[in-house]
Amino acid sequence: MKKMIIFASLLVYLSFSAFGDKGFEGRPITSNITMSTGFTLNKGEFLVGLGPIGFGISDKVQVGTNILLFLLQDYNANLKISFIKTEEKAFALGFKVHSFDLDVDEEESGFTSFSPYAAFSTKVSKNTFLHLGGQYSTFSGPEEIEDAMAIATSMGTSAHLGIEHSYSHKTKFLAETGYDFTFKGFRIGGAVFWGWKYFRLKLGVNYFKPKWTSGFIFPVISLQWRFDG
């Protein structure tokens, strides 16, 4: 936890010099709360922070990971390719790999998941985007994934719907809901996303109610520094 606080403080300190007036202009969000959008990073663009880390190989191809999940011992990688990318809409296909531990009969078991996914984003009004997404997950491990106890960050085969509303060119309100067919649980969440020329801050809360649990309420915290290489 101490390392996380030091890293976040350093990121904020470096980013204050990068504040500008453009906000989100020309840089649509690549993820809503837990779901991906149809947009990718621009060519040569980096996304670095406490949370997602990514790089735009081209205007329509990005690779990345989530460092916050790494700190929670969920080792992951993500490839996303956008086939349609305009100011009004975007459609992408991607592939995620995760390696993590879950409890099965009160003993830890290691699992690896492979998840192809699709994401579609479309502008439904002047200031609002609708995001739709889904993924199909397969799991390998010594036990059946259906016997595992889910945790707050678990995600299997699922469908998502998200709303992104721009209150101003620097402030967005995000909402999201979805259902996880693997862990048989609903997700719902909301967040506020502030964006300057380079620095971005996302704060919110998410709720996930998988089977065999009373549900998880956990904060959405993401510090990001987005810049050209």
Domain positions in the chain are 2-228
User: What pTM was estimated for this model as a whole?
Assistant: 0.87
| Structure-token pair, residue 216 | 């998880």
The correct answer on CATH 1.10.3300 for the domain covering 2-228 is no
The one-digit pLDDT tens for each residue of the chain (229 residues) are 555 555 455 444 444 444 444 457 668 999 999 999 999 999 999 998 888 899 999 999 999 999 888 888 899 999 999 999 999 999 999 999 999 999 998 899 999 999 999 999 999 999 999 999 999 999 999 999 999 999 999 999 999 999 999 998 889 999 999 999 999 999 999 999 998 877 889 999 999 999 999 999 999 988 888 888 6
pLDDT of the residue at 26: 67
